[in-house]
Amino acid sequence: MTDPTKINLLNRLELQGFKSFAGKTVFEFPAKVVGVVGPNGSGKSNIIDAIRWVLGEREAKQLRGEGLENLIFAGTPKKPAQGFARVDLVLDNANRAFPVDAEEVVLSRRVDRSGTSEFSLNDAEIRLKDLLPLLARVRLGARGIMIIGQGQSDIFVMSSPRERREMIEEFLGLREFRIKKGQAERRLENSIINIDKIKAMLEELAPQVRIFKKQKTRLEKRSEIELELEGLESSYYAFRYSRLGRELQTVMLPIAGLKEERNGLEGEIQKEEKILNALYQNDDDYAKVKEIRAKINAHLDAESVKQRELSRIEAKMEIQKEVPLYTHKPEEFKKFITGLKDEIEAVLGLDTVAEMKSHLKNIVASVQSFFSNRSEEPKIDLSGDWKSLADEIKGIRVQIDDLRKAEDDVSRKTRESNKEFREKVGKLNEKKNDLYAMDRKIQSVVLQKETIEMRREELEREWAALGKSAEALKRMPSGEEFSDETLHEAESRMMRLRGEISAIGEMDQSVFREFEESEKRYEFLEAQLADLEKAAADLKVLIRDLDQRIKNDFKTSFRAISDAFNEYFKLMFGGGKARLVLEEKVKPPMIIGEEGAEEESSSAEAAEDKEEELGVSIDLSLPRKKITGVGMLSGGEKTLVSLAALFALISISPPPFLVLDEIDAALDEENARRFSDLIKQFSTKTQFIVVTHNRSTMEAADVLYGITMGDDGVSKVLSLKLEG
């Protein structure tokens, strides 16, 4: 903060192209009282204007010109116009009142003919709204009682009660807080406007958001159910699927053994079948029997031939022993028989029995005649033939007997091997039965396997129907174990959950998104509202604090100022008395706005606090005169009252500097001397820049600048008196 005891805040003023100062003009302010003197119209007041302007004054009236362009040197017949005006005010910054790490700060303002005006602080551009609080901190301002322009010597009297209060506040260094408060109030106003806007938007969105919330709750419920259902489905299907897997494993467990056993058995059977086939197809014995039989038959045939031969021989031998019945040769015999036959056939053709009888008698007679005609044959010995034949037959029979024996042997053997064959076949059949049984068993296992697989596929289908991948089911570990009872419970629960989901129903995604957007926007606005309300609350606290500060500081000093005012009044008027009175319910104060323009603070918040609307009125009584109101005072008296107030303020809270433009003009000699004495007196604490025509004031000055204007219409500076 500013050190109130620090003087010589103003180090230097540089003008270039400003009003009548066409060229670069430098005013050093090394001393406590700097006087500016010169003839009328030489440009003295232009210096004051320059100070006002660089401190942020925007109002043309205050700068005695119409528009910014009139601030630029307009040119004279002898001196061309300038393209821009620039003022640099070099301020002491030893106490770092400005946030710049330098002993001095250069506050600059420049305007060109296009009307572009810019401020800079140590060559860095700065906005007026940022500059004003900085200036306020060192109690600098373009207005008020610290820069009193020409003809404004009665300013305190002529000002309104509110303006007077502002002047006092400025002196007390409260302007900084006033500006801050004004800014806070504007921010608060904006916040309130925005709060209202957001509230309106929230109200508009509220029904939609309410519906959405309801829907969202339902959908959240649905999601919860879906989650539970999904979990249940997963564990249910995973359990059932893996249980089937386990069943499959159990069922398939013996299959390898069974198959191995079966294949072994089949191998055995095949082997045995081969052996049996071989056995069956082994016809050695059979052939042997056949051969023996053939031999027997051959022997039998030979025997029967021999036997017949023997019989014949025996017959012959018999015949030789007996008389032969006939001796006809065979051809004679044949001829006779043929004739006989013809005769008999002829008989058969006869018609009568008598003829037949007669014919038959003839036949009988011819037969008798035929056989009565016999011839004698010579006898042959056949016993030798018979004997050899009989021996042969005997030999054959022995052979047959031997063969029969051999056949019996072979047959017996065959019978025995047949028995073994049958036994083997029996055993083989048993094995085949076993194989069949085994195949049935394997088949049954395969059937069971297929059944389980079908059930698994069915589960996979069900699972896929839930919109899930069969692969996931296969990979899913079976966590939860179910009993039949809990499995049944799970099924009922799943059904119930599905029912609940479909009861809740779907929601159009685009509608949902729209609602979601609304809700997001609602939440965003709510957050913004909360931020704004918080900011508004903070601002209210800040405003209240600033108010409090202004009020307290003001009240603390007000009585002292009023008392000092009374003292200086008495001094100026040689008696009488005066005081400052706090008035209530005046308009809110004028504040230099963000753009430097004065704005009425219309803040409702500000209006709430009645204390803030206080104004300052002057209560006085002149010695020997019955004057009660300031309106009744003469011009000179008004100046005296104003000066009394000025010095009262300086005495209570000396400002860093004061710029006074011919405020001593209306003073009589005595008061002019008093004025110069007081300036001298207060110059220990306050720097004075005084434009004057008054000799006693000039005498009080430590440094005196003479301003002249030549034919060329350009103000020139002449240093008339140096400090010390």
Return d(Cα 384, Cα 459) in angstroms, integer.
108
Return d(Cα 522, Cα 209) in angstroms, integer.
7
Applying CB under 6 A, does 73 fall inside the site for ligand ATP? Answer: yes
Q: Strands (DSSP E) along 362-458, which ranges?
A: none
**Which window, 36-44, 115-123, 568-576, 665-673, contacts ligand ATP (CB under 6 A)?**
36-44
C-beta separation of 512 from 215 below 8 A? yes
- Closest CB to ligand ATP among 30 and 713? 713
Whole-number minimum distance, CB 43 to ligand ATP, in Å? 4
**Which window, 39-47, 259-267, 448-456, 568-576, contacts ligand ATP (CB under 6 A)?**
39-47
Applying CB under 6 A, does 665 fall inside the site for ligand ATP? Answer: no
Round the CA-based radius of gyration of the chain to a whole number and report it: 77
* Chain Cα centroid distance, residue 179: 47
Whole-number minimum distance, CB 55 to ligand ATP, in Å? 17
For 396, the token pair is 């054959």
Among 70, 114, 628, 634, interactor with ligand ATP by CB under 6 A: 70
Return d(Cα 479, Cα 488) in angstroms, integer.
17
- Closest CB to ligand ATP among 47 and 172? 47
Query: Binders of ligand ATP among 295-334, rule CB under 6 A?
Result: none
For 617, the token pair is 């009125």
Beta bridge partners of residue 581, listed in sequence order:
617
Whole-number minimum distance, CB 89 to ligand ATP, in Å? 17
User: How many other CB atoms are found less than 10 A from the CB of residue 52?
Assistant: 22
- Closest CB to ligand ATP among 603 and 715? 715
CA-CA-CA-CA torsion sign (214, 216, 219, 224): negative
Give the relative orientation of helices 509-573 and 669-682 as an angle to the nearest 10 degrees.
Answer: 120
C-beta separation of 686 from 656 below 8 A? yes
Applying CB under 6 A, does 375 fall inside the site for ligand ATP? Answer: no
Q: Where are the alpha helices (DSSP H) in 80-123?
A: none
Whole-number minimum distance, CB 27 to ligand ATP, in Å? 14
The number of CA neighbours under 13 Å toward the Cβ of 47 is 33
Whole-number minimum distance, CB 179 to ligand ATP, in Å? 29
Among 285, 278, 272, residue whose Cα is nearest residue 415: 285
Query: Binders of ligand ATP among 260-299, rule CB under 6 A?
Result: none
Residues in the chain, how many? 724
Whole-number minimum distance, CB 537 to ligand ATP, in Å? 50
Among 25, 42, 557, 642, interactor with ligand ATP by CB under 6 A: 42
Whole-number minimum distance, CB 184 to ligand ATP, in Å? 39
Applying CB under 6 A, does 46 fall inside the site for ligand ATP? Answer: yes
Applying CB under 6 A, does 43 fall inside the site for ligand ATP? Answer: yes
Whole-number minimum distance, CB 720 to ligand ATP, in Å? 15
By CB under 6 A, the count of residues binding ligand ATP is 15
**Which window, 42-50, 396-404, 441-449, 554-562, contacts ligand ATP (CB under 6 A)?**
42-50
Query: Binders of ligand ATP among 685-714, rule CB under 6 A?
Result: 713
**Which window, 34-42, 269-277, 319-327, 569-577, contacts ligand ATP (CB under 6 A)?**
34-42
User: How many other CB atoms are found less than 10 A from the CB of residue 75?
Assistant: 14
Here's the x/- map for ligand ATP, 132-171, by CB under 6 A: it reads as ------------------x---------------------
Among 121, 204, 169, 196, residue whose Cα is nearest residue 549: 169
Applying CB under 6 A, does 38 fall inside the site for ligand ATP? Answer: yes
Query: Binders of ligand ATP among 381-410, rule CB under 6 A?
Result: none
Whole-number minimum distance, CB 75 to ligand ATP, in Å? 7
**Which window, 38-46, 263-271, 430-438, 454-462, contacts ligand ATP (CB under 6 A)?**
38-46
Applying CB under 6 A, does 492 fall inside the site for ligand ATP? Answer: no
- Closest CB to ligand ATP among 43 and 589? 43
Applying CB under 6 A, does 52 fall inside the site for ligand ATP? Answer: no
Applying CB under 6 A, does 62 fall inside the site for ligand ATP? Answer: no
- Closest CB to ligand ATP among 25 and 45? 45
C-beta separation of 718 from 64 below 8 A? no
Which residue has its beta carbon closest to ligand ATP?
A: 40
Beta bridge partners of residue 21, listed in sequence order:
18
CA-CA-CA-CA torsion sign (491, 495, 500, 501): positive
For 242, the token pair is 């893996």
Applying CB under 6 A, does 44 fall inside the site for ligand ATP? Answer: yes
Among 40, 375, 383, 509, interactor with ligand ATP by CB under 6 A: 40
- Closest CB to ligand ATP among 76 and 366? 76
- Closest CB to ligand ATP among 40 and 483? 40
Applying CB under 6 A, does 20 fall inside the site for ligand ATP? Answer: yes
Measured CA to CA in angstroms, residue 58 lies from 66, 169, 213, 514 at distances of: 11, 21, 55, 51
CA-CA-CA-CA torsion sign (657, 663, 667, 672): positive
Return d(Cα 516, Cα 230) in angstroms, integer.
25
C-beta separation of 147 from 13 below 8 A? no
Eight-state DSSP code of residue 5: T
Angle at 19 between CA 18 and CA 23, to 5 degrees: 55
Measured CA to CA in angstroms, residue 637 lies from 22, 595, 629, 677 at distances of: 39, 37, 12, 19
Beta bridge partners of residue 389, listed in sequence order:
none
Query: Binders of ligand ATP among 74-113, rule CB under 6 A?
Result: 74
- Closest CB to ligand ATP among 38 and 182? 38
Return d(Cα 449, Cα 442) in angstroms, integer.
10
**Which window, 43-51, 213-221, 331-339, 628-636, contacts ligand ATP (CB under 6 A)?**
43-51
Footprint on this chain of ligand ATP (rule: CB under 6 A): 19-20, 38, 40-46, 70, 73-74, 150, 713
